[in-house]
Structures are given as structure tokens and as C-alpha cells.
Amino acid sequence: MKHVVVRNIPRGPQEAIAELATHGVATVHEAMGRTGLMAPYMRPIYPGASIAGTAVTALVAPGDNWMLHAAIEQCRPDDILVVGVMSRNTDGMIGDLICTSLKTRGIKGVVIDAGCRDVRALTEMRFPVWSRAISARGTVKATLGNVNLPVVCAGVNVNPGDAIVADDDGVVVVPRLEIAGTLELARQRTEKEEKSRQRYLAGELSLDVVNMRAGLQAAGLVYVDNANEI
């Protein structure tokens, strides 16, 4: 493994990234052709958080948060720290001190494939973390990893500089060069969904709004009046 910290990473347009957050993780994930979504075990430590920013990546050893300290220095305002772990681990690698530092420096949040602690303090300071566990378990500082190399986090390969969108539905990764295109598709989807919503509120059925009846029939779906007709 290369024990490297990369100082400069490309960053996408923050205005576009910020707008992705307004469309939400589900819509952005659909706009990307249903790709880029992290595993659903990644949960926010409190409900209602919704952020988008540029990924600064770190790879750490299980039970060891040494590299996170090197990563903090590489974060700029509006970044999101994304942490992968060498093997499955739930130790509390992120807590109130690290998050105080991150928040002070303008970082928007953390996405970590391990544990988070001090969740009450983080909730009170409104600094959001998406993690696979909440655990007070402390970590050591003994093993090197790297910062700003590609890292797999919760099943998705994240390149430093990719956009991260996170809310109550989970975390999605948008490759840097696809941000603009994804935003355009997300806008279209949001607009289209709003029109559909009005029809559903008026009592219409999705079978009609999305025009599914013919397809279901063609596939062989049969309607019967009662179970004993089967």
C-alpha cells in the first residue's frame, strides 16, 4: 500500500454540487442511472441533515484513526471527508474534537464506513456524520493508510474530488465529471415528479399516470375477481 497524502485534488463546481442536495439522494441516484449509492447500513447520526460537497478521501486501518488527522489538513470549506477502512470495523473513529476542528474549518460533514462517537455533542453542534455504527470504542494511531487516493466506502468506489450527496435516505457519489449532467437530469426528474405528484393528489393511479396497464397484461398478469377463480 502506498502511504501517501495527495495535497491537491480537482474539485467540481460548488454551486452545482450544492444544488444536488436540494434534489435529494434518491433523485440524484436515479439521475445517475441508479448508480453510486452506498450500502444502506450507512445512516445519519441524527435525522434531517442534508448536505453536498466534494470528497476528500482517507483510508484507515481497523481501530486506527491516525490518517484522519492527516486528512483534516487537506479539507477545504464545503468539502466532505469520506473514510474507507481496510477491513470491517465499527470503532468510534470520529468524535467531537475532530468534528469541532472540521466544522471550524468549514467542512460540511463526514461519511465513514466505521463508527462515530460523541453523537449527542455532534447533534447539538449540528455537524452531520453518516456512519455504519455508533460506538464509543476508542482508536489508536499506529498504522499508516493514505489520503486522497481512490477508496471504496460502503461498496462504492470514491475518487477524491467526486461530489457526495447525503441525506436521510443515504449517501450517493457523483463522479466529478458527471456533476453537471447529473444535475440537469435531476432537475428534469424533480420537475416531472412534481407533475406526477399533482395527479396522484388528484386521485389518479400510477397504473395510468405511468401507463403500465398494457405492459402488465403483455407480461401475463391476470386479474380475477376472487381467489377461488385461480
- Taking the C-alpha atoms of residue 83 and residue 199, their distance in angstroms, rounded to an integer, is 42
Region near a second copy per CB under 8 A, out of 15-23, 85-93, 180-188:
85-93
Q: How far is the CB of 164 from a second copy (least distance, A)?
A: 13
- Count of residues that bind a second copy according to CB under 8 A: 105
Positions in 106-135 near a second copy (CB under 8 A): 115, 117-120, 123, 133-135
153 and 37 Cβ atoms separated by less than 8 Å: no
∠ CA 39-117-162, nearest 5°, is 40
Helices 179-201/14-23 angle, 10° precision = 20
Using the contact rule CB under 8 A, the part of the chain among 13-21, 92-100, 180-188 near a second copy is 92-100
Mark 45-74 with x for binding to a second copy (rule: CB under 8 A) and - for no binding: -xxx-x----------xxxx-x--xx-xx-
Site string for a second copy, 140-179 (x = CB under 8 A): xxxxx---xxx-x--xxx--x------xxxx-x-------
Minimal distance in Å, beta carbon 56 to a second copy? 13
Pick the piece of the chain touching a second copy (CB under 8 A) from 15-23, 32-40, 179-187: 32-40
**Single residue of 33, 77, 126, 188 touching a second copy by CB under 8 A:** 33
Cross-strand bridge partners of residue 51? 166
Cα→Cα distances 217→42, 221, 228, Å: 39, 5, 21
Nearest approach in angstroms of CB 183 to a second copy is 17
76 binds a second copy (CB under 8 A): no
**Distance of closest approach, residue 191 Cβ to a second copy, in angstroms:** 13
Q: How far apart are CA 58 and CA 53, in angstroms?
A: 15
Smallest separation (angstroms) from a second copy to the CB of 144:
5
Q: What is the spatial distance between Cα 79 and Cα 101, in angstroms, rounded to a whole number?
A: 13
Place of cell 445517475: 32
Give the whole-angstrom CA distance, residue 78 versus residue 17.
10
Q: Rounded distance, CA 196 to CA 63, Å?
A: 48
**Near a second copy by CB under 8 A, which window of 12-20, 139-147, 180-188?**
139-147
x/- binding map, residues 179-218, to a second copy, per CB under 8 A?
--------------x--xx--xxxxxxxx--x-x--xx--
Cβ atoms of residues 159 and 176 within 8 Å: yes
As a residue count, the chain comes to 230
